[in-house]
């Protein structure tokens, strides 16, 4: 039985630049950083105090032997959501650090407040503050 999600892969063009962005701009911490015997670097980051990790996967590291290159291209994967307790405040902090949001201010919805952005490689993220009472 599946117990929890532990690692999510994000394809990036340059692992060093991505590490800088995810740690210095978004404020995540580096978790793993080693190079295996095949020369492929395994690099992960994650939010402090949480088990989940984002693997910063170098584009072109592994050829896709069974299909197209869709999952191996930056900006072509699934979008992820970062939960926030104060989306408007975090929006301003991240914007001041250079995050390019898709809107001028967080949008308010019945389910909460959110703002979307992409990392420098085009991978999509949402910053979300859930509403105190869910209205659907």
Name the CATH architecture for the domain at 1-60: Roll (3.10)
Answer whether 0.85 is exceeded by the pTM: no
> Per-residue pLDDT tens for 50-103?
989 999 988 877 654 444 444 566 777 667 888 899 999 999 999 999 999 999
CATH of 75-136, one of 3.10.180.10, 3.30.365.10, 3.40.50.1980, 3.40.50.2300: 3.10.180.10
Residues 115 and 127 sit within 8 Å (Cβ to Cβ): yes
Taking the C-alpha atoms of residue 128 and residue 83, their distance in angstroms, rounded to an integer, is 5
Please report the pLDDT score of residue 80 as a whole number.
Answer: 82
pLDDT level of residue 21 (50, 70, 90 thresholds): very high
Going from N- to C-terminal start, the domains of the chain cover 1-60, 75-136
Residues 114 and 130 sit within 8 Å (Cβ to Cβ): no
Q: Which two tokens stand for residue 5?
A: 């999600």
pLDDT of residue 12 exceeding 60: yes
């Amino acid at each position: 039985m599946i117990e929890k999600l532990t690692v999510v892969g994000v394809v990036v063009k340059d692992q060093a630049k991505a590490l800088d962005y995810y740690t210095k701009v978004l404020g995540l911490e580096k978790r793993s950083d080693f190079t295996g015997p095949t020369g492929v670097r395994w690099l992960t980051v994650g939010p402090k105090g949480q088990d989940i990790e984002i693997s910063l996967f170098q584009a072109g590291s592994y050829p896709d032997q069974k299909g197209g290159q869709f999952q191996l291209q930056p900006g072509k994967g699934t979008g992820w959501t970062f939960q926030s307790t104060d989306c408007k405040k975090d929006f301003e902090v991240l914007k001041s650090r250079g995050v390019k949001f898709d809107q001028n201010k967080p949008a308010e919805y019945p389910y909460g407040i959110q703002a979307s952005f992409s990392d420098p490689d085009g991978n999509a993220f949402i910053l979300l503050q859930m509403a105190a009472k869910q209205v659907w």
